[in-house]
Amino acid sequence: MSEIVFGIHAVQALLDSDPQRFQEVFILKGRDDRRLQPLIKALEAQGIVIQVANRQWLDSKVEGAVHQGIVARVKPGRQYQEGDLPDLIAGLDQPFLLILDGVTDPHNLGACLRSADAAGVHAVIVPKDRSAQLNATAKKVASGAAENVPLIRVTNLARTMRVLQEANVWIVGTAGEADHTVFQSKMTGPMALVMGAEGEGMRRLTREHCDELISIPMAGSVSSLNVSVATGICLFEAVRQRTSK
């Protein structure tokens, strides 16, 4: 079994975090740019096999995404299971979690993972039957974050939310119409932020299981933000609060 990782940042991030996972790397024939060269050198220094491939072959490996002239075949990373969640939380002082209730676009999943990683989120939770796959595109957009942040797929999201609440995790849902804004919310303790689907937002049951609903104030004519943008705003407001003395 192997997975594909592509793009300069994603390959670099995996090399930094877990070089043992590389099986082989393919670079575009004739590609000789300044951004790729240091990465090739670093890969070679780790003894990783590098081969040259033509554009058509590389394109065929990445589902039409932009590979920036580099595609790696790697061993699968650690897969987290639903049963890992209680242990993961138990080991944390102040759990900081992100729940994506129905984000189905791999670009959005990747962008949310990237923001989650940057914000120091301990795990991202998604419903098994209602989420984008962590495919090559999501990993590329995540820019290495997919290798770092545990992604946990759960069968019944409402049940998982109850488990989190029993562990004293405060669950903050997001909805454009909520009266309380993200800037008024207190996000300093153990918490899980819940984001909704691209089209319909959070499901009714998910919404009902939230302890609090917050909105991001919208000043213009558009009624909502892209889910990954909204994720970044809410996570970093939480980071601001959690890190200010």
Ligand X SMILES: C[S@@+](CC[C@H](N)C(=O)[O-])C[C@H]1O[C@@H](n2cnc3c(N)ncnc32)[C@H](O)[C@@H]1O
Residues that bind ligand X in the complex, under the rule CB under 6 A? 174-176, 195-196, 198, 200-202, 215-216, 218, 224-225, 227, 230
CB 11 within 8 A of CB 50: no
Residue 44 CB, shortest distance to ligand X, in Å, is: 43
Q: 98 labelled as ligand-binding? A: no
CB 150 within 8 A of CB 116: no
Q: Which residues pair with 85 in a beta bridge?
A: none
In the bound state with ligand X, the residue whose beta carbon lies nearer, of 19 and 176, is 176
Could you list the beta-strand ranges (E) of 118-238. 123-127, 151-154, 170-174, 191-196, 212-214
Could you list the beta-strand ranges (E) of 1-108. 3-6, 22-28, 50-53, 70-74, 96-101
* Rg of the Cα atoms in the chain: 19
In the bound state with ligand X, the residue whose beta carbon lies nearer, of 204 and 245, is 204
Residue 227 CB, shortest distance to ligand X, in Å, is: 4
In the bound state with ligand X, the residue whose beta carbon lies nearer, of 69 and 102, is 102
In the bound state with ligand X, the residue whose beta carbon lies nearer, of 13 and 202, is 202
Residue 52 CB, shortest distance to ligand X, in Å, is: 42
- Give which of 183, 189, 182 is closest to 165, Cα–Cα: 189
Q: Which residues pair with 212 in a beta bridge?
A: 172
Q: 152 labelled as ligand-binding? A: no
Q: Which amino acid is at 45?
A: A
In the bound state with ligand X, the residue whose beta carbon lies nearer, of 88 and 225, is 225
Whole-number Å distance between alpha carbons of 87 and 98 = 17
Q: 113 labelled as ligand-binding? A: no
Residue 217 CB, shortest distance to ligand X, in Å, is: 7
Residue 190 CB, shortest distance to ligand X, in Å, is: 20
Place of tokens 């065929």: 60
* Main-chain phi, psi angles of 57, to 5 degrees: -70, -45
Binding residues for S-adenosyl-L-methionine: 196, 216, 225
Binding residues: 196, 216, 225
